[in-house]
Amino acid sequence: MSAAIDILSMILMSVGGVFCVIGAIGVLRMPGFYTRMHAASVIDTLGASLIIVGLLLQSGFTLASGKLLILWLLIFFCSPTASHSLANAAHRRGVIPWQSDQGAKSSSKN
């Protein structure tokens, strides 16, 4: 039974890691400021959640699990707040969203 839980948690954590790498690739590939932020949000939602669920399976019913749940809640409340203030600051500062017909000029600027 514990071997099955180990394997399941390993799978979850590996898949979470894969999504973190996909998010990082997205940050590099996307053009412009706002589109890069979309790629980064894959990391802190799906990537982080899968890794935390994998760790929860490892820790079982202990205090460490409680701390992991608090960490997960913290990520889910703070990361959208931080993303919003970043996007809002860019909007106020007049960062022009990248458009596909604009070509390479604006993507190098942002």
Partner 1 sequence: MHRFHSISVVASLFVFWLVLSGYFTPFLMSAGLASSVLVVWFAHRMSVIDREGHPLELRGGVLSYWPWLIVEIVKSAWTVSKIIMHPRLPISPTMLRVKMTQTSSVGQVMYANSITLTPGTISVAIEGDEILVHALTQAGADDLAGGEMDRRVSTCEVRA
User: Which residues would be at the binding site for partner 1 (CB under 8 A)?
Assistant: 19, 22-23, 25-26, 29-30, 32, 34-35, 37-39, 41-42, 45-46, 63, 66-67, 70, 76-77, 79-81, 83-84, 87-88, 90-92, 97-100
Instruction: Give 3 or 63: the residue with its C-beta nearer to partner 1.
Output: 63
Minimum distance from residue 89 beta carbon to partner 1 (Å): 10
Minimum distance from residue 47 beta carbon to partner 1 (Å): 8
Cα radius of gyration (the chain): 18
In this structure, which amino acid lies at residue 34?
Answer: Y
Instruction: Give 32 or 54: the residue with its C-beta nearer to partner 1.
Output: 32
Cα–Cα distance measured from residue 36 to residue 98, given in angstroms and rounded to the nearest whole number? 10
Cα–Cα distance measured from residue 14 to residue 62, given in angstroms and rounded to the nearest whole number? 23
Minimum distance from residue 19 beta carbon to partner 1 (Å): 6
Minimum distance from residue 69 beta carbon to partner 1 (Å): 8
CB 65 within 8 A of CB 56: yes
* CA proximity to 14, closest of 40, 44, 47, 62: 47
